[in-house]
């Protein structure tokens, strides 16, 4: 089996998770599930980023020990993952002992390479963004204070003796890497952003702090803790068994195949991270892919605006599969997109209740009512049968290419376009008319149309498993697919005539539209 190592960003557990976190988990999970069903040996890492000044200050403001705040909120993130049906292999916390060891090891490797030195840092730091800003990245806010032009986060003047990483020495090697690995950064808009950033020259970066102690201590200099991003990025290595580079896991899973992250942290992943790895003599990940932001009804979410969407509440209201399907189908992966209740209801009624649910329900109940719940023996296939089956049989390579892009919205579009064709086929074949006919030829057509239709439902149900795992499993139960034989190799194996099907139950009830506001 081909190894495939995929990761999400690790969230700051300084508060409750929001829909943006959920979106990243769902998208990454869909890719991981797709690969598993397609026969790969997948390792899927996610977790929380517990160190840094933001965590320390939040804990202080709430009057709780930082470790307790981290644990409590990290548990909430882990609970979200299970509410969303996320199939991770490890939930890493950066306070885990093996992660601390990995962070120390990479620090030492960069130090041995001669890339770490002590100097005085004087500049602007944003606690909210956990990053340093140069003067030209700032503007004056409405309150008269300096803030980041990009994120609006306030900055404070910081002066201390810190360790520096010789980032300036890596600009050329990074540019060469981007050049020889054109797929390293995706989507192209982010790649261009990073190219122009690196081309404009890189300055050395401060990578330790002395004014607080909530972090990984710098080896041999415990009065310093590592800058939170040094330790955070290293989580991807910890998840593959680093620093034991001779381990089976490391040999198998490193370099990571893709880091899935949000667009706001592309610089950390596409510039700093590969520079650290080059310095430490470790292979670079194959790909960094930045998704867009989820907006609430077209507006940026924020605590101050009070419009932060709680993913648990959405799952409680709509069920996890509708939320997953909506986010992956409606949003162009790699671009911003918007959530609204209305759009979710419309989208899921159209796709799940009508196109897929109705087709399954109508065909399966006809088999139940008229054929004793037994998969019929089809007669010779007519041109429309052959055409529809051909479309369904041809889906896997198309959807695979879309998930590899990654562009799950296009993969789903392809599946639903075949379901659209199946619905048109079903209406035009009029199995309800065939059934009433006394001619044996019509009875045979009736059985054939039902056979072809449930075959397409079965193939669609197999292919939507990565996106709506719960509902797909219920649909596959209805077409009697054995639980242990639902991987994509089953797509080509026709359902056997004579198979007894359970009594059909609707899998996707319709949602009522919202009352007018």
Chain residues in the site for ligand ME8 (CB under 6 A): 9-12, 20-21, 23-24, 49, 232-233, 235, 261-262, 264-265, 293-294, 301
Look up residue 15 and give its two tokens: 């508060």
Euclidean distance between CA atoms 263 and 244, whole angstroms: 31
Nearer to ligand ME8, 319 or 334 (CB): 334
3-class DSSP state for residue 375? coil
The phi and psi torsions of 426 (rounded to 5 degrees) equal -60, -45
Chain position whose Cβ is nearest to ligand ME8 = 262
Nearest to 478 by CA among 396, 387, 357: 357
CB count in 10 Å sphere of residue 142 = 6
Q: Could you give the angle at which helices 97-112 and 273-280 cross, rounded to 10 degrees?
A: 70
Look up residue 169 and give its two tokens: 């020495």
Residue 319 φ/ψ region, left for φ over 0, alpha for ψ in the -120 to 50 degree band, beta for the rest: left
Look up residue 300 and give its two tokens: 């940026």
Token pair 């990761």 is found at 7
Maximal C-alpha separation, the chain: 92
User: Which DSSP symbol is given to 374?
Assistant: B
3-class DSSP state for residue 500? strand
Residues in the chain, how many? 517
Nearer to ligand ME8, 70 or 366 (CB): 70
Give CA 170 to chain center in angstroms: 30
The distance in angstroms from the start CA to the end CA of the chain is 53
Beta bridge partners of 291: 262
Where are the strands (E) in 263-335, listed by range? 288-291, 294-296
3-class DSSP state for residue 251? helix
3-class DSSP state for residue 6? strand
Beta bridge partners of 146: 140
The phi and psi torsions of 507 (rounded to 5 degrees) equal -95, -30
Euclidean distance between CA atoms 453 and 396, whole angstroms: 18
User: Which DSSP symbol is given to 498?
Assistant: T
Nearest to 455 by CA among 417, 419, 484, 401: 419
Q: Residue 130 burial by CB count (10 A; 0-12/13-18/19+): exposed, middle or buried? A: buried
User: Which DSSP symbol is given to 369?
Assistant: H
Beta strand pairing status for 221-226 and 217-218? antiparallel
Q: Determine the Cα angle at 21 with ends 181 and 97, to 5°.
A: 80
3-state helix, strand, coil in the chain (%, to 5): 50, 15, 35
């Amino acid at each position: 089996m081909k190894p495939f190592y995929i990761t999400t960003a690790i969230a700051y557990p300084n508060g409750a998770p929001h829909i943006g976190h959920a979106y990243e988990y769902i998208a990454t999970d869909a890719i991981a599930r797709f690969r598993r069903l397609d026969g790969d040996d997948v390792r899927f890492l996610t977790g929380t980023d517990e160190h840094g000044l933001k965590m320390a200050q939040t804990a202080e403001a709430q009057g709780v020990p930082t470790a307790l705040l981290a644990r409590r909120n990290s548990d909430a993130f882990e609970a979200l993952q299970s509410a969303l049906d996320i199939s991770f292999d490890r939930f890493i916390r950066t306070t885990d002992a093996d992660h601390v060891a990995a962070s120390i090891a990479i620090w030492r490797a960069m130090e041995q390479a001669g890339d770490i030195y002590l100097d005085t840092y004087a500049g602007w730091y944003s606690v909210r963004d956990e990053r340093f800003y140069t003067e030209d990245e700032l503007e004056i806010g409405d309150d008269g204070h300096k803030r980041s032009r990009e994120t609006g986060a306030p900055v404070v003047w910081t002066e201390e003796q810190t360790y520096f990483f010789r980032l300036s020495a890596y600009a050329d090697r990074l540019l060469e890497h981007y050049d020889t690995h054109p797929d390293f950064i995706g989507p192209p808009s982010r790649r261009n952003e990073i190219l122009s950033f690196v081309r404009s020259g890189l300055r050395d970066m401060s990578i330790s702090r002395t004014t607080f102690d909530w972090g990984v201590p710098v080896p041999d200099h415990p009065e310093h803790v590592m800058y939170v991003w040094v330790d955070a990025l290293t989580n991807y290595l910890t998840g593959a068994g680093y620093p034991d580079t001779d381990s089976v896991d490391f040999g198998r899973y490193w370099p990571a195949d893709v880091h899935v992250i949000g667009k706001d942290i592309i610089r950390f992943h596409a510039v700093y991270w590969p520079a650290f790895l080059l310095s430490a003599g470790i292979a670079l990940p194959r790909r960094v892919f930045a998704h867009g932001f989820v907006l609430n009804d077209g507006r940026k979410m924020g605590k101050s605006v009070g419009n932060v969407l709680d993913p648990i509440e959405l799952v409680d209201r709509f069920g996890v599969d509708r939320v997953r399907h909506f986010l992956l189908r409606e949003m162009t992966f790699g671009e911003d997109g918007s959530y609204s209740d209305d759009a979710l209801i419309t989208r899921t009624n159209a796709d799940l209740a009508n196109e897929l649910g109705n087709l399954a329900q109508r065909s399966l109940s006809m088999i139940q009512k008229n054929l004793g719940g037994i998969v019929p023996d089809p007669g010779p296939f007519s041109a429309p049968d052959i055409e529809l089956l051909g479309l369904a049989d041809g889906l896997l390579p198309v959807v695979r290419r879309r998930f590899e892009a990654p562009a799950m919205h296009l993969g789903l579009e392809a599946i639903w376009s075949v379901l659209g064709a199946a619905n048109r086929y079903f209406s035009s074949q009029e199995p309800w008319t065939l059934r009433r006919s006394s001619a044996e030829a019509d009875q045979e057509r009736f059985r054939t149309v039902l056979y072809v239709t449930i075959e397409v439902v079965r193939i669609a149900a197999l292919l939507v498993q990565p996106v709506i795992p719960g509902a797909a499993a219920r649909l596959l139960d209805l077409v009697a697919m054995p639980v242990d034989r639902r991987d994509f190799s089953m797509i080509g194996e026709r359902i056997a005539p004579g198979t007894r099907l359970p009594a059909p139950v609707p899998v996707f009830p319709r949602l009522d539209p919202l009352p007018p506001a």
